[in-house]
Amino acid sequence: MIQPHDSVIVRTFGHIVIPVAQLFGVYVLMFGQYGPGGGFVGGVVIAGSMIMAILIFGIESEDSVLARKILHGDGVGLLIFGGVGGLCLIGGGEFLNYSHLSIPGLDETSRHQVGILLTQVGVAVDVAVTGVSIAISLSFEEDEISQDEVTD
Amino acid sequence: MTIEIPLLILLIMTAAGAILVKDLISAVFILGSYSFALALVWALLGAVDVAFVEAVVGAGLATVFFLLTLFRTTEKDRVICRPPVPWSAIIGLPLLGLLLLYGAGDLPVFGDPTSPASTVISPLYLENSIRQTGTPNVVTAVLMDYRSFDTFIETIVIFTAGIACALIMRKGDK
């Protein structure tokens, strides 16, 4: 596993930059309908901030608790995306045809807006979880396995 | 127009440097600067969304993944015993390049208003997206609404990549 960094400069820098990066990721995700960005980029920025927390403070520390918790959500983003498509099916339309998203009190354009926003959130969650998961997989060292084999 | 030529020269130089340098950590960082120059090229061409993705993924996330991979292996590029290049490759690859150049001659010029893409499908999206989807950013409207099935499949691909990495490399984890 990754050891925490012991430099004061790096730790202070991380405490300042990581919340800003997470806020910027959420901003990019939510602003994707009006400017450059969207679900994929927002998810990558959020994943990058959490990977930075893991690399600076270590996987076991309190600062990377979000990265540990998010690992259990593998597949949730895909479920959100597919769930929006399923809601469109229930509403009587084709898969991912947001005109049939059965939300009362919304006209057709607003249904498309809600559908785009929800699917973007799904993509962002999926990309963020996958990024953190791949980073932890790559940094996983096989010390524990080799020690087990030695004791056996 | 004047900034494009130095940018393209920088692009070729960083791409060649990432291959030629022996220290692999230097190669990873040169590759990151290559992605950053490529993002500037995309931004010059007006594709701001693609530039954003290139800067974040190519220069940010991919660099971290390459570095984490390097820490598990070795940092120096050791020369492996390479077999000699076969004659079929020496003759065949230039011919393939000539064939590709001949085919590229029939492609429409960049920004051509009479090309099929900008006469049929682009005006359809540009005129209808704000009325049908209420989304000012046409790229998001195309990705998430008109072509949302493609995005769904791409999300499945990313999910599969994460699952496969965890299955292969986290063997000792419960």
Is the pLDDT at A146 greater than 80, yes or no? Answer: no
Contact A44 B57 (CB under 8 A): yes
End-to-end CA distance of chain B: 57
d(CA B67, CA B156): 26
Is the pLDDT at A17 greater than 90, yes or no? Answer: yes
User: What is the nearest CA distance from B33 to chain A, expressed in angstroms?
Assistant: 18
Where does the pLDDT of residue A22 fall: very low under 50, low under 70, confident under 90, or very high at 90 and above? Answer: very high
Residues B84-120 pLDDT 10s: 888 999 999 999 999 999 999 888 887 788 888 888 8
> Which is more confidently placed, A150 or A21?
A21
- Residue B23's SS3 state is strand
- Out of A109, A127, A135, whose CB is closest to B134? A109
> Which is more confidently placed, A142 or A49?
A49
List beta partners, residue B23: B76
- Torsion B121-A34-A85-A49 (CA) sign: positive
Q: Which two tokens stand for residue B139?
A: 């790229």
- Backbone φ and ψ for B76, nearest 5 degrees, come out as -100, 145
Contact B158 A126 (CB under 8 A): yes
The residue of chain A nearest to residue B162, with distances taken between CA atoms, is A130
Cβ contacts of B129 on chain A, cutoff 8 Å: none
For residue B77, give every residue at least 6 positions away whose Cβ sits within 8 Å of its Cβ, in sequence order, or none: B22, B23, B24, B27
| Contact by Cβ (8 Å): A96, A85 | yes
Is the pLDDT at A152 greater than 60, yes or no? Answer: no
For residue B158, the number of C-alpha atoms closer than 13 Å in the C-beta half-sphere is 27
Q: Which two tokens stand for residue B140?
A: 């998001």
Q: Look up residue A82 and give its amino acid.
A: G
Residues A86-114 pLDDT 10s: 999 998 888 888 888 888 888 888 999 99
| Contact by Cβ (8 Å): B173, A68 | no
DSSP state of B76: B
| Contact by Cβ (8 Å): A21, A104 | no
Where does the pLDDT of residue B172 fall: very low under 50, low under 70, confident under 90, or very high at 90 and above? Answer: low
Q: Which two tokens stand for residue A144?
A: 């524990």
ipTM: 0.84
Across chain A, mean pLDDT equals 86
The residue of chain B nearest to residue A131, with distances taken between CA atoms, is B162
Residues B25-78 pLDDT 10s: 899 999 999 999 999 999 998 889 999 999 999 988 999 999 888 888 776 666
Taking CB atoms and an 8 Å cut-off, how many pairs form between chains A and B?
Answer: 144
By the 10 Å C-beta count (0-12 exposed, 13-18 middle, 19+ buried), B52 is classed as: buried
Q: Testing the interface with B: which of A44, A88, A116, A125 to mutate, by most B Cβ within 10 A?
A: A116
- Residue B79's SS3 state is coil
Q: Which domains does chain B have, with CATH numbers?
A: 1-78 (1.20.120.1200), 113-174 (no CATH)
Cβ contacts of A54 on chain B, cutoff 8 Å: none
Residues B140-161 pLDDT 10s: 999 888 999 999 999 999 999 9
Residues A35-79 pLDDT 10s: 888 889 999 999 999 999 998 998 888 888 888 888 888 889 999
d(CA A42, CA B53): 9
User: What is the nearest CA distance from B159 to chain A, expressed in angstroms?
Assistant: 6
The gap from C-alpha B26 to its chain's centroid, in whole angstroms, comes to 20
